Amino acid sequence: MESPARRYNSPMDIAPCKPAVWVNTSQGLTEAFQALESQPRIAVDTESNSLFSYQEKVCLIQISSPDTDYVIDPFEFTDLSMLGRLFENPKQEKIFHASEYDLICLKRDYHFTFVNIFDTMIAARILGAAQVGLGSLLQKYFDVTLDKKYQRANWGLRPLPPEMLDYARFDTYYLFKLRDILEAELTAHDLFDLAQEDFINACNAEAHPNGNGQGEYWKLAGSSHTDTRQVTILKELCAYRDEQAKKADLPHFKILSNEMLVEISLQRPTTLDELSLVPHFSEKLVKRHGNALLKAVAKGETAPLVTRMKNPRPDDAFLARIDCLKEWRKNTAKKLEVESDVVLPREMLEKIASANPATKPELKNVMANSPIRYQKFGALILKELKKTETA
């Protein structure tokens, strides 16, 4: 459903005409809040440091109005409740691009509540855009190329160089014009109500605590491990790595890679010489972690075997409903020229298949969080479910 791109004459037509405002004092925060609270729309983004810290945290909060970009340093504040008043204001629209991660981080760190958002990535996906990254959309609509050199930078550094501040402000600066273009296209294709439903549901993103991979050994084990003793050893290796990462305030991968831990659990070395044979396990790593890793392996050799909780296999009738709904969803998405989960998200599809509603009121209850999709597709979904009864 590609629509003609509305282009500006040149990138300079929409380039910032004044510097961003760096907010790191109480007075600055109050002034920013007072300037933003009367705006009908604000644009929001965050930067975090998951690649550089044991416990990921929000390192920057960017909030723009149509005429000013504010870059807020959360490290300087013990109380950011002013921002929470913006985010929970139902009369003020908050524009994000790919809101899920930002909302999860802000809820986790500050317990904010969000209402009334517009997510430009969700809008682009519903429109069937082939590429929905912010850089791709800005290139398409404005012929603007974002420099992504700081995408994986350490935003926890202070002071931040001016070029990083400029980088951060651009993630919100263009969102107002992009939002209006996408709304116009959604309206033209009679899809704006579907987008609004997804915006409402996006506000419910859950703030998961920093678990640092609790139970990750099952995921790492995968199909490489054929017995539970190997997995038990891997559990002890993961526990050691987690302890070291916490002490150093570093993410797990900067201590030891997943691949190394998996290989050690498979080879089960008992000496430093055997440990040194593990691929990519350098002499430096042997000196730093060797003895402790051997102790972890030895502990895993005698520890009680871990057990995996097995989910019961779904019954054939449920699987038949899943397959039927997936086929219908695929065909419907093809006609609308969108991704399949735009028609019916996976969680909703599985919820319907599990409940197996037989009437409109039953289906409406199952799809309580998706009233627009119920209105558009409810009768067709019930028709598909009835097919499985006679299959």
Determine whether 78 is exposed, middle or buried from the number of CB atoms within 10 Å of its CB (0-12, 13-18, 19+).
Answer: exposed
CATH number at residue 223: 1.10.150.80
Query: Which pLDDT value is given to residue 246?
Result: 94
Query: Which pLDDT value is given to residue 233?
Result: 95
Extract the tokens encoding 5. 């791109």
70 band by pLDDT with thresholds 50, 70 and 90: very high
In a domain, 307, yes or no: no
What digits encode the pLDDT tens for the residues 307-346?
A: 876 777 889 999 999 999 999 999 999 998 888 999 999 9
Do 273 and 330 have their domain in common?
A: no
Determine whether 46 is exposed, middle or buried from the number of CB atoms within 10 Å of its CB (0-12, 13-18, 19+).
Answer: buried
Which residue intervals of the chain are DSSP H helices?
26-36, 81-87, 99-110, 120-126, 134-142, 162-173, 175-188, 192-202, 216-221, 228-248, 258-267, 272-276, 283-302, 316-336, 340-343, 346-355, 360-366, 371-390
Average pLDDT over residues 190-207: 94
335: containing domain: 316-390
4 band by pLDDT with thresholds 50, 70 and 90: very low
CA–CA separation, 388 vs 375, rounded Å? Answer: 22
pLDDT at 9 over 80: no
Of 90, 84, 85, 93, the closest CA to residue 65 belongs to 93
Of 203, 196, 168, the closest CA to residue 63 belongs to 168
Place of tokens 């402790």: 292
CA–CA separation, 84 vs 171, rounded Å? Answer: 20
Do 154 and 54 have their domain in common?
A: yes
Q: In this structure, are residues 261 and 225 in contact, taking their beta carbons and an 8 Å threshold?
A: no
In a domain, 207, yes or no: no
Do 58 and 18 have their domain in common?
A: yes
Query: Which pLDDT value is given to residue 97?
Result: 98
Helix (H, G, I), strand (E, B) or coil at 91: coil
CA–CA separation, 152 vs 317, rounded Å? Answer: 46
What digits encode the pLDDT tens for the residues 94-105?
A: 999 999 999 999
Domain count, the chain: 3
pLDDT at 215 over 80: no
> Residue 325: what are its φ and ψ, rounded to 5°?
-65, -35
Do 195 and 333 have their domain in common?
A: no
Query: Which pLDDT value is given to residue 14?
Result: 61
In a domain, 311, yes or no: no
Do 18 and 164 have their domain in common?
A: yes
Q: In this structure, are residues 71 and 50 in contact, taking their beta carbons and an 8 Å threshold?
A: no
Query: Which pLDDT value is given to residue 152?
Result: 87
In a domain, 309, yes or no: no
pTM comes to 0.89
- Considering 241, 274, 302, which residue would you say is the last residue of a domain? 302
The number of beta carbons lying within 10 Å of the beta carbon of residue 178 is 24
CATH number at residue 73: 3.30.420.10
- Considering 177, 202, 227, which residue would you say is the last residue of a domain? 202
Helix (H, G, I), strand (E, B) or coil at 96: strand
Do 245 and 198 have their domain in common?
A: no
What's the chain's Rg over C-alpha atoms? 25
Question: What residues have CB less than 8 Å from 40, skipping those under 6 apart?
Answer: 91, 92, 93
- Considering 150, 174, 202, which residue would you say is the last residue of a domain? 202
pLDDT at 191 over 60: yes
Do 289 and 356 have their domain in common?
A: no
Do 298 and 325 have their domain in common?
A: no
Do 21 and 87 have their domain in common?
A: yes
Do 175 and 64 have their domain in common?
A: yes
Do 52 and 189 have their domain in common?
A: yes
Do 278 and 358 have their domain in common?
A: no
Query: Which pLDDT value is given to residue 6?
Result: 47
Strand partners, 63: 44, 70
